[in-house]
Amino acid sequence: SNIVAIVGRPNVGKSTFFNRLIQRREAIVDAVSGVTRDRHYGKSDWNGKEFSLIDTGGYVKGSDDIFEAEIDKQVELAIDEADAIIFMVNVEDGVTGMDEDVARLLRKVTKPVFLVVNKVDNGKRAEDAVEFYSLGLGEYYTIASINGSGTGDLLDALVDALPEVEEQEEEEVLPRFAVVGRPNAGKSSFINALIGEDRYIVTDIAGTTRDAIDTKYNRFGFEFNLVDTAGIRKKSKVKEDLEFYSVMRSVRAIEHSDVCLLVVDANRGFDGQVQNIFWLAERNRKGIVILVNKWDLVEKDHKSTNEFEKHIRKQIEPFTDVPIVFISALTKQRIFKAIETAVEVYKNRSKRIKTSELNETLLPIIDNYPPPAYKGKFVKIKYIMQLPTPQPQFAFFCNLPQYVRDPYKRYLENKLREIYDFTGVPVSVYMRKK
Ligand code: GDP
How far is Cα 277 from Cα 265, in angstroms, rounded to an integer? Answer: 14
For residue 332, report the distance from its CA to the centre of ligand 1, in Å. Answer: 12
C-beta of residue 38 within 8 angstroms of C-beta of residue 18: no
- Cβ of 52 below 6 Å from ligand 1: no
57 is in an annotated binding site: yes
pLDDT in tens, 390-421: 899 999 999 999 999 999 999 999 999 999 99
13 belongs to an annotated ligand binding site: yes
Residue 235 has pLDDT above 50, yes or no: no
C-alpha 285/C-alpha 288 separation (Å) is: 9
One-letter amino acid of 166: E
Q: Does the bond joining 318 to the residue before it have cis omega, within 30 degrees of 0?
A: yes
Specify the higher pLDDT residue, 247 or 386.
386
Is 102:75 a contact under the CB 8 Å cutoff? yes
| 345 Cα–ligand 1 center, Å | 25
Using pLDDT thresholds of 50, 70 and 90, give the confidence band for residue 369. very high
Please report, for residues 65, 104, 168, the alpha-carbon distance to residue 171 in angstroms, rounded to integers and kept in the order given: 54, 46, 9
328 lines ligand 1 (CB under 6 A): yes
296 appears as a binding residue in the annotation? yes
Report the distance separating Cα 382 and Cα 192, nearest Å: 51
Ligand 1 contacts CB of residue 416 (under 6 A): no
Beta carbon of 297 within 6 Å of any ligand 1 atom? yes
Residue 10 annotated as binding? yes
Q: Whose CA is closest to 177, among 85, 90, 256, 70?
A: 256
Minimum-distance ligand 1 atom for the alpha carbon of 333: 23
Binding site membership of 183 for ligand 1 (Cβ less than 6 Å): yes
CA distance 80 to 353: 43
Q: Which atom of ligand 1 is nearest to the CA of 207?
A: 2
Report in angstroms the alpha-carbon separations of 275 from 169, 290, 315, 342.
33, 11, 8, 19
Per-residue model confidence (pLDDT) at position 32: 39
Angle at which helices 187-195 and 335-350 pack, to 10 degrees?
Answer: 100
Query: Is 11 labelled as part of a ligand binding site?
Result: yes
265 membership: H or E segment, kind and range: strand 259-265
Smallest CA separation from ligand 1 atom 12, residue = 186
- State the Cα–Cα distance between residues 384 and 202, nearest whole angstrom: 50
The mean pLDDT of 107-122, rounded to a whole number, is 93
CA torsion sign, 132 to 133 to 136 to 137? positive
Going by CA atoms, what residue is nearest to atom 9 of ligand 1? 186
DSSP for residue 117: E
321 C-alpha to center of ligand 1: Å? Answer: 27
Establish whether 246 is an annotated binding residue: no
Are 47 and 156 within 8 A, CB to CB? yes
Spatial contact of 38 and 59, defined as CB atoms under 8 Å apart: no
Which atom in ligand 1 lies closest to the alpha carbon of residue 246? 2
Amino acid at 275: Q
Maximum mean pLDDT: which of 21-35, 61-75, 105-119, 298-312: 105-119
* Helices 14-21 & 151-161 angle (0-180, nearest 10): 80
ipTM: 0.93
176 assigned to a ligand binding site: no
Confidence label for 25 from pLDDT (cuts 50, 70 and 90): very low
Say yes or no: CB of residue 334 within 6 Å of ligand 1: no
The rounded distance, in Å, linking the Cα atoms of 255 and 29 is 18
Ligand 1: centre distance to CA 107 (Å): 40
In tens, the pLDDT along 247-286 reads: 677 787 888 889 999 999 999 999 888 898 899 899 899 9
Rounded Cα distance, 177 and 215, in Å: 10
Kindly state if the Cβ of 189 falls inside 6 Å of ligand 1: yes
Q: Are strands 222-228 and 259-265 parallel, antiparallel or unpaired?
A: unpaired
CB 206 within 8 A of CB 242: yes
Residue 66 has pLDDT above 70, yes or no: no
Q: Identity (one letter) of the amino acid at 346?
A: Y
Q: DSSP 3-state assignment of 27?
A: coil
Q: Are strands 381-386 and 393-398 parallel, antiparallel or unpaired?
A: antiparallel
Atom in ligand 1 nearest the alpha carbon of residue 328: 23
Give pLDDT tens digits for 267-277: 999 988 889 88
Among 87-101, 191-205, 310-324, 375-389, the range scoring the smallest mean pLDDT is 191-205
> Of 25-34, 246-255, 308-317, which range is least confident?
25-34
3-state class (DSSP) for residue 410: helix
Amino acid, single-letter form, for residue 245: Y
Cα atoms found within 13 Å of the Cα of residue 397, Cβ hemisphere only: 10
How far, in Å, is the centroid of ligand 1 from the Cα of 37?
27
The reply, when asked if residue 55 is annotated as ligand binding, is yes
Query: Ligand 1, closest atom to CA 329?
Result: 23
